[in-house]
A and B are shown apart, each in its own frame.
Chain A
Amino acid sequence: MAEAIERFVPDGATVAMGLALEPLIPFAAGHEMTRQRRRDLELVGPISDALFDQLIGAGCVRRVTAAWVGNVSEGLGHCYRRACEHGIPRPLEVHDHSNFSISLALWAAAWNVPSLPTRALLGSDILRTNPGIESKDGLVHVDAVQPDVAIVHVQRADAMGRAHAWGPLGISEEAGLAAKRVIVSCEELVDASVTLSDPNRILLPETKVVGVVHEPGGAHPSPVQGYFRRDHAFYRHYAERSRSVEGFNAWLEEWVMGVSDRSSYMKRIDVDSIRIRHQRLAAPADFGDE
């Protein structure tokens, strides 16, 4: 992970993450950016469940282009509030979206057009605060948003970057297609014979993927269908600790800055309490051709 972030996420980059909404959030990638002290990032996403709040609190972020930033089961994002209200640890620019409009902004970039029209956001003040969304001729036009890099966490991938993800996908596909590059982190690194046995399940074209990181537990505390439940207590703990600047900084030291990598982090988690044990397998699909 350290190498992937070092090579593909420079200071000032526009980074799309948390694209499946609450599941499959690439926390390990975000924590590595924090350890490498990235600065001036623009974060792009739909609903961000705590990861954006952490990066904002760590001072890595210049702008957020998203529909929602907070802690889904606990409420407000305390670092997000401090940055917007008091410029702590630094001022933050916000480009507000709805879930639908951020999806359209990414589809516009994916299809290489300047904007896409929608009926969503008519009558909303989001039109007043986001310079990239305007109302014209009875429709709302959403300007393209192109990430430099999209980071996705998936259940399994091969070394060529073919990622299998399942469960709800949120805006993962449009974000990956819109981005110049994609980094994949995965629970399991598998042989190409596994991924290619089911090409419908491959999330994004391998031509976009510049890095594959085998990072078991890389989405904790978010859930991974078939692997991990959501660690609700961890989100609650984070919400409580991040209420004050001092509390957040101590949390960051304990769980990010003072941790060398994801495998050390996972040793401190009660993995057994969140591991999914009962299989619920899909029927195989027959790709026979003769």
Chain B
Amino acid sequence: MSDFTPQELMVAVASREIHDGDLVFVGMRLPVLAYAVARNSHAPTARGLFEVGLMRDQPAGGFLGTMGDPPNVAGALWATRMSNVMALMAQGEVDLGFIGGAEVDRFGNLNTSYVGDPRRPTVKLPGSGGGADIAILSRRWVTLISHERRRLVEKVAFITSPGHGDGSPGWRKRNGLLGGGPVAVITTLAVLRFPEEGGEVCVATVHPGHTVDEVLENTGWDLKVSRDVSETSAPTEAELAAIRRFDPDGFWTRSSVTKG
């Protein structure tokens, strides 16, 4: 087994969330690589959608700093306006979305807006982008986040992108949210999963080289652990080769997970 970075493991794990045939709302950063890996292995007929106004099948031929970079446009299946892409998502046509977050809570709600009082925040984060739209409208979604106590918090200060709300059964349906909500939180230490009916997240697998105790110590609430918790499968040689082909200089996978 060759060495890999935490980000490379996260990308490989994220790619496994993509099923063949999925229409994936890809977004930015690590999920762009996850899409490329999936497309090159187990999901050869998946399609990617980008809110800038793009649909693709093949991953871009060159490095992407953003979804709007020229290699992502060349060879696209559709170059269009954002509202057309949102139309597909509003109809429930998007199978899977990825959303980054600064803070996530036990019910999968994400904060990318304000730490502290919104009127006088201690930290102003960049905002929703398309996050809230994906959280509400895509059929299922996944978060990637650095596993730290200040990021995995009992209750987020501000719900930018709603997960399973207050965790009560049927919260999303009762509040009119179209999609099924978050299915997994992929962190630098572990994969956390939600029960099928929503509710509270639970440790499913722990990454190689880490322990359940370490995961619990770095989480801001009394995190549940699955009875059959196991080790996260390491990236395969093929997955690593694909990741390194699409991120040749390690821009995304050999520096910090959450830049800035």
> Is B52 close to A, CB under 8 A?
yes
26 of the cross-chain contacts (CB-CB < 8 Å) are A47-B129, A66-B127, A67-B130, A68-B126, A68-B127, A72-B65, A96-B128, A98-B128, A98-B132, A119-B90, A120-B90, A121-B136, A122-B177, A123-B177, A124-B161, A124-B162, A126-B160, A167-B70, A168-B50, A169-B80, A169-B81, A173-B81, A230-B65, A230-B69, A232-B251, A239-B260
Which residue from chain A places its CB closest to the CB of B131 in the assembled complex? A98
Q: Are A76 and B260 in contact (CB under 8 A)?
A: yes
> Is A166 close to B, CB under 8 A?
yes
B122, B178, B260: the one within 8 Å of A70 (CB) = B260
> Is A36 close to B, CB under 8 A?
no
Report the Cα distance A4→B81, complex, angstroms: 27
Given contacts A75-B126, A120-B132, A169-B81, 5 further A-B contacts (CB under 8 A): A70-B260, A84-B124, A120-B136, A168-B82, A174-B81
Which residue from chain B places its CB closest to the CB of A80 in the assembled complex? B124
A21, A76, A100, A170: the one within 8 Å of B126 (CB) = A76
**Using a CB–CB distance below 8 Å, which chain B residues touch chain A?**
28, 50-54, 65-70, 73-74, 79-83, 86, 90, 113-114, 118, 120-133, 135-137, 158-162, 165, 172, 175-178, 251, 258-260
Interface size class on chain A is 35 or more
Say yes or no: A168-B83 contact (C-beta < 8 A), given A99-B130, A122-B175: no
Q: Are B160 and A125 in contact (CB under 8 A)?
A: yes
Report the Cα distance A239→B114, complex, angstroms: 20
Q: Are B158 and A125 in contact (CB under 8 A)?
A: yes
Main secondary structure of the interface of B (DSSP, over half): loop
Q: Are A103 and B82 in contact (CB under 8 A)?
A: yes
Say yes or no: A75-B127 contact (C-beta < 8 A), given A124-B161, A171-B82: no
Residues of A within 8 A of B259 (CB): 73-75
Q: Are A124 and B132 in contact (CB under 8 A)?
A: yes
Report the Cα distance A80→B114, complex, angstroms: 12
Q: Are A119 and B50 in contact (CB under 8 A)?
A: no
> Is A218 close to B, CB under 8 A?
no
> Is A32 close to B, CB under 8 A?
no
Q: Are A230 and B176 in contact (CB under 8 A)?
A: no
Q: Are A22 and B68 in contact (CB under 8 A)?
A: yes
Q: Are B129 and A98 in contact (CB under 8 A)?
A: yes
B124, B128, B260: the one within 8 Å of A74 (CB) = B260
Which 3 pairs between the two chains have the least Cβ-Cβ distance?
A75-B260, A168-B53, A22-B68
Q: Are A85 and B123 in contact (CB under 8 A)?
A: yes
Which residue from chain B places its CB closest to the CB of A72 in the assembled complex? B66
Q: Are A167 and B65 in contact (CB under 8 A)?
A: no
Report the Cα distance A126→B260, complex, angstroms: 23
> Is A81 close to B, CB under 8 A?
yes
Report the Cα distance A49→B129, complex, angstroms: 11
> Is A260 close to B, CB under 8 A?
no
Report the Cα distance A243→B35, complex, angstroms: 32
B83, B130, B260: the one within 8 Å of A71 (CB) = B260
Residues of B within 8 A of A225 (CB): 70, 73
Say yes or no: A21-B79 contact (C-beta < 8 A), given A98-B129, A120-B90: no
> Is A60 close to B, CB under 8 A?
no
Say yes or no: A171-B81 contact (C-beta < 8 A), given A120-B137, A235-B65, A280-B74: yes
Which residue from chain B places its CB closest to the CB of A78 in the assembled complex? B260
Q: Are A85 and B124 in contact (CB under 8 A)?
A: yes
In angstroms, how far is the closest chain B Cβ from the Cβ of A164? 13
Report the Cα distance A118→B87, complex, angstroms: 11
Report the Cα distance A11→B120, complex, angstroms: 26
Report the Cα distance A167→B67, complex, angstroms: 12
> Is A153 close to B, CB under 8 A?
no
Which residue from chain A places its CB closest to the CB of B161 in the assembled complex? A124
Q: Are A20 and B65 in contact (CB under 8 A)?
A: no
Report the Cα distance A162→B21, complex, angstroms: 40
Q: Are A230 and B124 in contact (CB under 8 A)?
A: no
> Is A38 close to B, CB under 8 A?
no
Q: Are B159 and A125 in contact (CB under 8 A)?
A: yes
Residues of B within 8 A of A124 (CB): 128, 132, 135-136, 159-162
Which residue from chain B places its CB closest to the CB of A138 in the assembled complex? B176
B125, B159, B165: the one within 8 Å of A76 (CB) = B125
In angstroms, how far is the closest chain A Cβ from the Cβ of B117? 11
> Is A161 close to B, CB under 8 A?
no
B51, B176, B258: the one within 8 Å of A75 (CB) = B258
> Is A196 close to B, CB under 8 A?
no
Give the residue among B70, B86, B123, B131 with the most A Cβ atoms within 10 A: B70
Report the Cα distance A198→B145, complex, angstroms: 45
